[in-house]
Structure 1
Amino acid sequence: MTGAPRATTTRVPKIRENLPAPQTPEGLLFHYTPYEAAPWTPFSGRTLTDKIAARELDYVFNGRDSYLTGAQILALVERYTRRPFAKHKSARAA
């Protein structure tokens, strides 16, 4: 085999238009691909795909593709949300 190496092509995932937001009533049960869910999560689409493959996240599997529902996205965001530290009141009065 001679000649230059073949150029690699990158596959861009297809993202549907006008998706409902996960927190809306129609979005809670809507099925998002990991790349469609990524803007609402603290992870990239690739990281979500890897976490689903490693079974680190709850997801919906239809026999071929993996999806996240809006409710699962909200639970994921809640799980990784860090709350501000609440200072406890001092035991002694000032």
Structure 2
Amino acid sequence: MTAPQATAPKRRKRPAPKIRENLPAPQTEEGLLFTYTPYEAARWAPFSGRTIADMIARREIDYVFNGRDNYLTGAQIVALVERYTIKPFAKPSRAAA
């Protein structure tokens, strides 16, 4: 007779985040004031939805808190993209001798 085998506890799978369809682009007039979840904002931002959610948790970026959930407005997404955009290097002009 053998001893019973220990089993690992079952892990709960998180449901996939819900992403609404037909969202206005953040750069549009309507989109600047529209609120997006971090996973919806990832479509236009240089980060994944999980990374944006982590940045919000660490308070690294501006966000909107409605008492339960965290959101980003279109203006905040545009600012986030501009903040992490690398500008091309311009060579300095030659000094006159």
Q: How many residues align?
A: 93
- % identical aligned pairs: 72
| 3-state DSSP of counterpart to 1:39 | coil
Name the residue aligned to 2:76. 72
CA change 1:30–1:3 in 2 (3 A) is same
| 3-state DSSP of counterpart to 2:72 | strand
Q: How does 1:29-48 map to 2 (within 5 A)?
A: 29-48=33-52
Gaps of 5+ in 1: none
| 3-state DSSP of counterpart to 2:59 | coil
Report the Cα distance in structure 2 between the residues aligned to 1:12 and 1:62, rounded to whole angstroms: 21
Larger CA deviation: 20-29 vs 6-15:
6-15
By percentage of residues, which structure has more helix? 1
Is 1:24 aligned with 2:39?
Answer: no
For normalisation by structure 1, the TM-score amounts to: 0.90
Q: Which has the larger radius of gyration?
A: 2
2:58 equivalent among 54, 57, 76: 54
